[in-house]
Amino acid sequence: MKKVSDLHQEAMGLVDQALVVRLRGEAERAQELLHEAFKKEYEAASLVASELELEPTRSVLYRSAASLALECGEIGEAERLISTALSGYPPEEIAEELRDLLEQVYFERHLKVRGIALNPNEFQLSMSGQAVGLGIANSAQFIERVKNVETMIYRTGERLSGKPFRERGRPEKKQLEELELYISMPRAASFAVSFRIGSGIQMKLPGMDFVEKIIDELFECFDLFNSSKTEPLKEKIRDLPYYRSFLGLARNIAPDGEQIRTVGLTTVRKGSARHVVLTKTRKEVPSAEAAISQKQFGESVQVTGTLLLADARKGKNQIQLIAENGMGYKVHVPEGMMSDIVRPMWELKVIVTGAVKRNIIYLQDIEKASE
C-alpha cells in the first residue's frame, strides 16, 4: 500500500505543477505534466485492481486516473478505467461521480465531427442531458440556444467592427446578410448540429477572414467564461454593455444542470479540432451586475412575476414587473441587457433579482420561473 500511496502523491504533485505552468501560459508543458500524472495514477490504480474489498480507496484511485485520462484526451482509456471501477463495489456517492464522468466521456465522443468536414466559417453545437436523445432534443431547449448563439454572433461582429453597442433595433442590413446563420440537420450524437455563418453567396467563397475571426473570438470568450476567468474576459470585452450582453447570453446557452447537462462547441483550425465544453450551470456563474449594484445599493431582493410595460428610451430603460399578488414593480435595466436578455422574456413569468433604491429595483439577474 505504501507504493500505491507514494504513486498517488507523486501524481497529485504533478497535477499541481501542471496547474502552475498552465497559469503561466505554458500549455504544452502543462499537458506533458498531466500525462506523467496520469501514468502514475494509472499505475497506482492497477496495483489495487483485484482488491475489490479495498473501498473507497480502489474506486477513488480509478476515478482520479479516469479524470486525468479525460484531461489528456485519452477517451477510450478513461472509459475502461471507469468501467473497471464500477465493476467493483464503490460507495454509492463515488459510483454516482463515476457515472457522471462516464457521461462526460460519451460527450467527448459526441464533440468529434463525424462524417462531415467543418469549413473555417462553421462550428458544431452538441448537447447532452435529460432533454436530449440520439439526434433529437427538446425544441424549446434547442431553439432558445440557437437564438442566443445568433444574437451573440451579431454582437461579436459589431464589437469587433468597433461599433457602439446597439441598445435598440435590428443589426444593419449588410451585417444581417454577411452574418446570416445556417443550421445543418441534427446528427445522431447526443444532439449535434453544425452552424454556418455567411450569406448564400459567401458560403461558396474561401478566405472569410472576418467570420473566422468572429468564431475564434467566440471560442476564446466561451473558454474564459467556462473557466470563471472574469478579469481576462472583461479585458477582452472592455465595453461594459457588450460584456453584460455576452455574459447574459452565455449564461442562457450554458447547461441548466438537469434538462441540459453539457453544451459543447467544436470548430476546426489548421486541420485540428478545437473544443469548448460548457459544464458550469447558469447558477454557478454570477451575472455581470450582481457585484456592481450590490456594492452600490446594498442587499438584493427577489421578485417573481410577469414581465410587462417596457420603456427602452435612452435614459429610462425600465420595465414593469407585475408580481403574483398584483403589485407592480419598476425595474431599471442596465445598458446591454434590455434587447438581448430581457426582451426575449416578454410576458413570461420570471424571477427578477436586484438591489432596491427609491422604490426602483436595479436589475442584477433575470430568469424564467418554473411553471
Tallying the residues shown for the chain, one arrives at 371
Q: What is the pLDDT of residue 344?
A: 86
Q: What is the pLDDT of residue 109?
A: 66
Q: Mind listing the domains of the chain with CATH numbers?
A: 2-109 (1.25.40), 122-284 (no CATH), 290-368 (2.40.50.140)
Q: Could you tell me where the beta strands, DSSP code E, fall in the chain?
A: 122-128, 132-133, 136-137, 181-183, 192-197, 262-269, 272-278, 300-311, 318-323, 328-332, 349-357, 360-368
- Contact predicate 368/350, CB 8 Å: yes
| Regions in the chain scoring below 50 on pLDDT | 200-207, 294
The chain-wide mean pLDDT, for the chain, equals 82
Q: What is the pLDDT of residue 204?
A: 43
Q: What is the pLDDT of residue 215?
A: 92
Q: What is the pLDDT of residue 42?
A: 92
Question: Per the structure block, which three cell numbers stand in for 186?
Answer: 441534427
DSSP H/E element including 338: none
Q: What is the pLDDT of residue 184?
A: 77
- What is the three-state SS of 257-309? CCCCCEEEEEEEECCEEEEEEECCCHHHCCCCCHHHHHHHHCCEEEEEEEEEE
Angle at 335 between CA 346 and CA 362, to 5 degrees: 75
Using a cut of 0.75, tell me whether the model's pTM lies above it: no
Q: What is the pLDDT of residue 360?
A: 83
Over residues 310-364, the pLDDT tens digits come to 655 555 678 888 888 888 888 888 888 888 888 888 888 888 888 887 788 888 8
Q: What is the pLDDT of residue 6?
A: 87
Question: Per the structure block, which three cell numbers stand in for 25?
Answer: 501560459
- Contact predicate 347/369, CB 8 Å: no
Please write down the long-range contacts of 146-152, taking CB distance under 8 Å and 24 or more positions apart.
146/181, 146/183, 147/344, 148/249, 148/252, 148/253, 149/125, 149/181, 149/195, 149/253, 150/181, 151/245, 151/249, 151/340, 152/218, 152/245, 152/246, 152/249, 152/250, 152/253
For the chain, the 3-state helix, strand and coil shares in percent, each to the nearest 5, are 50, 20, 30
Q: Where would I find the H helices in 112-239?
A: 139-160, 173-178, 209-226, 230-236
